[in-house]
Amino acid sequence: MQLGLRLPGFLGRDGEPAAQRLISWPSLWRGGVAALAIIFLLSTQFLFQLELYEVWPLPDILHGWLDHFLDLSIVGGCIFAAFTSAAPLRVRGSAAKHLLALASIALGALAGEVLLMVRIPVPPDISAAGMLFAKVARWMVVGGLAYAIYTYLRRTAHAASQAHESGLQRVQLERQMTEARLQALRAQIEPHFLFNTLANVHRLYQTDPGLGRKMLANFVAYLRAALPQMRRDETTLKQEVELAHAYLNVLQVRMGERLRFRLDVPNDLGALPFPPLALSTLTENAIKHGLNPLPEGGSIEIAARVEKFQLKVEVSDTGAGLRQNSGSGAGLANLRARLAALYGEMASLAIEANAPRGIRATITVPIRTVSG
Amino acid sequence: MSSANPIDSKQFWLRRAGSGLLLGMSIAILEFAYYYPLVATPDKLGVGLLASLLLSWCGDGVLLAVTVGLFERREAPRSLGARQLALAVVIGSIAGVLAWQAFVNLVLREQFGIWVLRDFVGQPVNWSVGVLYHIWLMLVFGGLAAAVYSSRQRHARMLGVLHAAELSRETSQRQLAEARFAALRARIDPDILFQTLSKLERLYEADPQGADRLLAELIVFLRGALAEVRATPAQ
């Protein structure tokens, strides 16, 4: 493996300044403490020489231990200095990086042991080179193990942060997915209504052109109200109520006496923001699952009020009621997900039985200004 | 890694013994390098010194690694926590060294005349003194090796977590793309519809028959669009 050394200060491969790769003070501090702990551990070997206790008094042994600890600290300090100055160097490939780390440990150990030999010369009958080799080899093993632990810990932390990042992205993606699915569902409701209405208009123009014209006009009014809504995240309550009104007008032509409705929305609440098509979803549900199954039809009432700084909008019908309310689950679940995405815990959708019959659905959203 | 092969298989114990052997060999070689210049014996004694050190340290190492393996088996299928690993190393070092050094000194040396380190150095042999040194070295080097092992396992586990997270993110990304595509496909351009209907309204005043034809065409088109929407998997 070729060592491709680069001096700090050059730009790295990925273009970021190499200065960012220099060791930060906290990690330098932590590394120093860890190195000191290992040196302390190694120095305790002195205390495990039982034969000393027979010859030396305890204070001398403790003094010898301190001496030994200082010796080890000199070498350990050299290794630490060599390692920390080699760490910011940029090399190609992880093998070269490990090699560089081990080489820096060996060099530091060699320098430290040579310093020690200058301090206390080796007896002439012992090979100094052999002693140096043995001691450096020992430091290499200790340093190599410590480096392996350090590398694994760093990689684990890196992987953990990546996993965290990935989890965050997933949550965002799922939120967007809810939006996209809701859009798809919204678009699925549209064509049904569209198709049925136009088929009605077509038929009416042949039997009762006046009524057909009225229905077509109502439907165009509905589309005029619905068009801007379909592309927004938030509209006002007034726009939503107008949309529901236009929708009910279209159906009124088709259903005649079977549909009666009443809107009870105070004018001063009109400017409050409201999630788009939320009211339409509830109104469509009330028609589709409440009134349509009944031959005699029923009535729908839309009411809005403010309670405890919350806007409550109710859609109640006198239709078939909860037990036959099958098939609307997906629409309501999507509406719930949408409310949660827009307002979190602060918004809710409650479905309950209406007296004497039918369903009352209530949307509660927090009050905010339109710009907010 | 213990996750690769089941605990208590032959391979598992072979791996444990192998890592213990490696630990013992490393220490023996370090010790040899340290004592060889001190002993200053004729060259042929060097091989004997190395063999004696290998015998002495490899047994310690294997017993330590096997003790860790026993702890792992007890804890299986969960992997050892840091505290349990430390306990295993302490117990394995002390018990392993005591057992093996007693065997080497009292059986091999007394009965079969095999030399231990102090015979080479020329010092009186008091094996209880050497035991403490052995225990210390096994504790330090075994402890460091165990720390490497434990951090490596943690790293592998974290990589598993990362892999799972990446996988579910990929899945979400794909699902989002699908949902967006479905939403796109399901959309009937409202502007075109609106224009057509406005035109229809005017046309019914001027040319009711033409308007009728246009409406019939529009209904045919919508029927087709509706079929496509229905074919889209609804979630």
- Across B78-92, average pLDDT: 89
Identify whether the C-beta of residue B66 lies closer than 8 Å to the C-beta of residue B17.
Answer: yes
> Whose structure tokens read 């010194």?
B49
Chain A contact for B17, CB < 8 A? no
Q: Using the beta-carbon criterion (under 8 Å), do A195 and B223 form an inter-chain contact?
A: yes
Please state, for a pLDDT cut of 90, what percent of chain A lies above it. Answer: 19
Among candidates A45, A51, A148 on the partner chain, residue whose Cβ is nearest the Cβ of B129 = A51
Q: In the predicted model, is pLDDT for residue A270 greater than 80?
A: yes
Contact A368, A312 (CB under 8 A): no
Give the one of A126, A135, A202 whose C-beta lies nearest to B215's C-beta.
Answer: A202
Mean pLDDT, rounded, for A80-109:
88
Residue from the list B30, B166, B226 with its beta carbon closest to the beta carbon of A166: B166
Average pLDDT over residues A357-364: 90
Residue A216 forms contact with B (CB below 8 Å): yes
Rounded to the nearest angstrom, the gap between the alpha carbon of residue A62 and the centroid of all alpha carbons in its chain is 56
Residue B10: CB atoms within 10 Å: 8
> In whole numbers, what is the pLDDT of chain A averaged over residues?
81
Of residues B95 and B226, more confidence is placed in: B95
Say whether pLDDT at A342 is over 50: yes
Q: Name which of A184-188, A365-369, B136-140 the model is least confident about.
A: A184-188
Q: Which pLDDT value is given to residue B82?
A: 84
Residue-level pLDDT at B22: 92
Most A CBs within 10 A among B1, B169, B202, hence the mutation to make, goes to B169
pLDDT tier at B225, thresholds 50, 70, 90: low
> How high is the pLDDT of residue A105?
92
Of A350-359, B122-131, B196-205, where does mean pLDDT reach its minimum? B122-131
User: Quick one: closest CA in B to A41, which residue?
Assistant: B140
- Please indicate if any CB of chain A lies within 8 Å of the CB of B160: no
- What local confidence, expressed as pLDDT, does residue B216 receive? 83
- Residue A294 dihedral angles phi and psi, to the nearest 5°: -95, 130
Nearest chain A CA: its distance from B13 CA (Å): 23
Kindly report the nearest CA distance between residue A44 and chain B, in angstroms: 8
What is the mean predicted confidence (pLDDT) over A251-260?
A: 84
* pLDDT, tens digit, 9 for 90 and up, residues A137-181: 889 988 999 999 988 988 999 999 999 998 888 888 887 887 777
Q: What is the mean pLDDT of residues A343-367?
A: 87
Cβ within 8 Å, pair A177-B175: yes
pLDDT at A362: 93
- Position A93 scores a pLDDT of 83
Whether pLDDT at A201 is above 70: yes
Mutation to test the A interface, candidates B155, B163, B214, most A Cβ within 10 Å: B155
CA distances in angstroms from B158 to A19, A146, A159, A163, B169, listed in the order given: 29, 20, 6, 8, 16
Give the pLDDT confidence of B148-201 residue by residue, as tens digits.
988 988 899 899 999 999 888 888 888 888 777 777 666 666 666 777 888 888
B22 residue type, one letter: L
Residue (of A269, A254, A180) closest to A222 by Cα position: A254
The pair of structure tokens assigned to B133 is 């040194």
Q: Is A302 helix (H, G, I), strand (E, B) or coil?
A: strand
Distance from CA of A293 to the nearest CA of B (A): 22
Query: Could you please report the per-residue DSSP string of A176-242?
Result: HHHHHHHHHHHHHHHHHHHHHHHHHHHHHHHH-HHHHHHHHHHHHHHHHHHHHHTT-S-EEHHHHHH
The predicted structure's pLDDT at residue A327: 54
Lowest mean pLDDT among A3-12, A87-96, A284-293, B104-113: A3-12
The band of A6, judged by pLDDT with boundaries at 50, 70 and 90, is very low
Question: pTM score > 0.80 for this model?
Answer: no
| Separation of alpha carbons B5 and A236, rounded Å | 63
Over the stretch A113-145, which tens digit does the pLDDT of each residue have? Answer: 998 888 888 777 777 788 888 889 889 988 999
CA pair distance A277, A282, nearest whole angstrom: 9
User: Mean pLDDT over residues B4-20, rounded?
Assistant: 82
Stretch B11-27: mean pLDDT, rounded? 91
pLDDT tier, A302 (very low <50, low <70, confident <90, very high otherwise): very high
Q: What is the pLDDT of residue A232?
A: 62
Decide if A232 touches B, using CB distance below 8 A: no
A177 in contact with B at a CB cutoff of 8 Å?
yes
Q: Region A309-317: what's the mean pLDDT?
A: 91
Lowest-confidence pick of A222-231, B8-17, B87-96 = A222-231
From A235, A212, A127, select the one nearest B204 (Cα to Cα). Answer: A212
Q: How far is CA A327 from CA A323, A330, A335, A354, B181, in A?
A: 11, 7, 14, 19, 24
CA distance B125 to chain A (A): 11
Q: Which chain A residue has its CA at the smallest distance from B128's CA? A: A50
Provide the pLDDT for residue B1: 42
Cβ contact B130:B118 at 8 Å: yes
Which range is most confident: A94-98, B1-5, B44-48? A94-98
Residue-level pLDDT at A191: 64
Interface contacts (A, B; CB < 8 Å): 194
- State the ipTM, two decimals: 0.70
